[in-house]
Amino acid sequence: MNNVNDNYSRKVMTKSIVIMAILIFITIIVLAPIYILLVNATRDPQAITNQPLSFIPGTSFIRNIKETINLNKIGKISYSAWIGYRNSFFITISATALTIFFSALTAYGLVIYDFKLSTPAYTFILAVMMVPVQVTSVGFVQFMGKLKLTDTYWPLILPAIAAPAIVFYMRQYMKANFPTEIVEAARIDGSGELSTFVRIAIPMLKPAVGVQAIFCFIANWNNFYTPSMILISRNFKQYTMPMMVESILSNDKLNDQGVRYCAIVLSILPIIVIYCFLSRLIVDNVAEGGVKE
């Protein structure tokens, strides 16, 4: 009996060591490029040119930050990370707020109200979710051109109202976790429909709202495809952060490698901050949903 237990313990320990070694290896592969990126953002441009790969941080981080944030013009291309940050935060926060509110409102209507077209409406939402953005991009840009909305931020914000994937997630969450009886009780107490949604439903949907807000923020912050099609005049004062980084990296006349690396670091900084502080919210929400299912 003892031999059986010893063999089992040995197998479990061996398996744990192998799994841990694999996880450590994957972690190193993932974090090594980020570490090199951060290190090069602190190094002198000439040092980067002479030795691109280094694991030792430099002393030029403040200088690189200033050169990246301040307004500079190299050749015909102007850039400023501060302008990119300002524009990206405005678009991202606005689009995220609209996405979360109207997606939750749509899911609320599909779950709470019993009407004949609820199933076809939900099926249509799922069908729209399957259509890639690239398929409709040409028609979308042409339509925005006819409305004279190109070179404005409206096409980057207002379409966020329609987010089929988030409606799907919100509906599934409400089906599993939202007690419809509380809505009936609110109606009996004289609460209006919109008031019930804002004052009762939204607070009860905080876990789902929080997770989807994180995903929406990241998606909108990283969005380069749509802004590059809508902001056709290429006025750098309208650039989002991804567009600003692209203009810096594609500038052949810019020899300052420190600025290039620093621009990339600044572009991913909000995502890293969000992940560090809010990753637990995502894990807890997924775990909660898995247990309840």
Do 179 and 269 lie in a common domain?
A: yes
In this prediction, residue 72 carries a pLDDT of: 77
For the chain, which residues score pLDDT lower than 50? 291, 293
Instruction: Provide the pLDDT for residue 9.
Output: 76
Q: Rounded to the nearest 5°, which phi and psi values hold at 79? A: -150, 150
Sequence-distant (≥ 6) Cβ neighbours of residue 160 within 8 angstroms: 94, 95, 96, 98, 99, 216, 220
Evaluate whether 104 touches 202 at the Cβ level (below 8 Å): yes
Is residue 255 domain-shared with residue 282, that is, in the same domain? yes
Shared domain for 205 and 273, answered yes or no, is: yes
Whether residue 33 sits in one domain with residue 136: no
CATH number where 232 lies: 1.10.3720.10
* 77-79 vs 72-74, strand pairing mode: antiparallel
Largest CA distance in the chain: 81
Same domain for 62 and 88, yes or no, is: no
Q: Which residue among 56, 74, 92 closes a domain?
A: 74
Last residue of a domain, one of 44, 74, 104: 74
Same domain, 60 and 203: no
Q: Which domain holds residue 237?
A: 78-292
End residue of a domain, out of 74, 97, 123: 74
Question: Are residues 68 and 103 located together in one domain of the fold?
Answer: no
Same structural domain, 15 and 94: no
Q: How many domains does the chain have?
A: 2
Name residue, tokens 């929080």: 210
Structure tokens at 142: 């042409």
Please tell me the predicted confidence (pLDDT) of residue 75. 63
Q: Are residues 43 and 160 in the same domain?
A: no
Give the whole-angstrom CA distance, residue 214 versus residue 169: 14
* Domain match, 64 and 185 both: no
User: What are the pLDDT digits (tens) for 55-93?
Assistant: 888 888 888 888 888 877 766 677 888 899 999 999 999
Distances (CA, A) of 272 to 171, 196, 265, 268, 269: 29, 36, 10, 6, 5
Estimate the crossing angle of helix 81-112 against helix 206-221, to 10 degrees.
140
| Predicted structure pTM score | 0.85
- What are the Cα distances from residue 139, in Å, to 25, 95, 133? 45, 21, 11
What are 211-231's pLDDT values in tens digits? Answer: 899 999 999 999 999 999 999
If asked whether residues 182 and 208 sit together in one domain, one would say: yes
What's the one-letter identity of residue 33? P
- Position 289 scores a pLDDT of 52
* Residues 6 or more apart in contact with residue 170 via CB below 8 angstroms: 103, 104, 106, 107, 108, 205, 208, 212
Choose among 270, 136, 149, 156: nearest CA to 223. Answer: 156
